[in-house]
Amino acid sequence: MNRPHYRIKSRKRLSARCLVLLSLLIVGIFAGCAGKDSGIEAGKDKGMFSWFRSAAGPPETGSEVDLSGKAMDYFVQGRYILAEEIFQKVKDRYPFSPYSTLAELRLADCKFYMGDYDEAIPLYEEFEKLHPTNEAVAYVIFQEGSCYYRLMEGPDRDQTSTRKLVETYERLLNRYPDSPYSYEARKRMAEAKNRLAQHEVLVARWYIRTGHAPQAKNRLETAMDLYPGTSEGVKAARLLKEKRIFQQASTAETDRVKESEKSWWRRLIPFI
């Protein structure tokens, strides 16, 4: 009676370990860390997770394997709060283990998939800082940009996240131009740049309505010069050529000056 029970328990442990190994292979963090990152002298290390590829398989590491397997089970099921709790335990209890590196990455992913983008960004940044040569860095930078992509505001709102997205994906494309994330990064960058150009055009139109022609011209030129390949950049160039736009701004400015003078006299002699 005990022997079948033992087999089932052994299979469960094996499945947990296989799930962790599969996760490491999918993400791609098994071969990138050399030198200081792995704690092995440069030139001797074949990758932080090179032992995963040995014929003998991974060495016995005790409960960190079981914890990582359990956390991955929760992660795959979308139970990110539970996964986050266990990944944090792995990171705290086994800071020098390869499983800790996996936990660091998955902690950031848990925050991302729970929609806590502001909290996920510093975790991705920390991973990149601690493991700069790790092969997961391309994925990590892409995920940083993905956070900013979901934090982008409309064209009439603050564009800090939009600018951060462009900066992040430019860094990704400069460092990893042929990564699997390049296509989507370029697509999102094009959308973000058009959003920034649209913002400049909206502000320019506001300046035109309020009679500030020089400021409106400056905004339109910014949209045209910085984002020439976008539809909004083309619109800005077209607006710059329309004389009636700036005539409208001049008229609005004249009316504003008259109203200001009128208000001054009314304040001085209120009964007129």
pLDDT of residue 241: 84
Q: What is the CATH number of the domain that holds 227?
A: 1.25.40.10
Looking at every residue in the chain, the average pLDDT score rounds to 78
- Split at pLDDT 50, 70, 90, the class of 255 is low
Neighbour-count burial of 168, counting CB atoms closer than 10 A to its CB (0-12 exposed, 13-18 middle, 19+ buried): buried
Q: Provide the 10 A C-beta neighbour count for residue 264.
A: 10
| Geometric angle at alpha carbon 75, from 181 and 8, rounded to 5° | 130
In-domain check, residue 57:
no
The residue among 12 and 238 whose pLDDT is bigger is 238
Domain assignment of residue 176, yes or no: yes
* Structural domains in the chain (count): 1
Per DSSP, helices labelled H in the chain are 2-27, 63-76, 80-93, 98-113, 117-130, 137-151, 160-175, 182-209, 213-226, 231-241, 243-268
Is 106 part of a structural domain of the chain?
Answer: no
| Cα–Cα–Cα angle for 196, 232, 209, rounded to 5 degrees | 85
Question: What confidence tier does 65 reach under pLDDT thresholds 50, 70, 90?
Answer: very high
Q: Which residues have a Cβ under 8 Å from the Cβ of 55 and sit 6 or more positions away? A: none
Assign 88 a pLDDT band (cuts: 50, 70, 90). Answer: very high
Percent of the chain scoring above 90 in pLDDT: 58
Cα angle at 96 between 95 and 99, to 5 degrees? 80
pLDDT: is 18 or 108 the higher one? 108
Q: Could you tell me the residue range of the domain that residue 198 belongs to?
A: 152-256
Asked if residue 23 is part of any domain, the answer here is no
Q: Domain for residue 240, yes or no?
A: yes
The whole-number pLDDT of residue 23 equals: 54
Residue 265 lies inside a defined structural domain of this protein: no
In a domain? residue 84: no
pTM metric for this prediction: 0.72
In a domain, 189, yes or no: yes
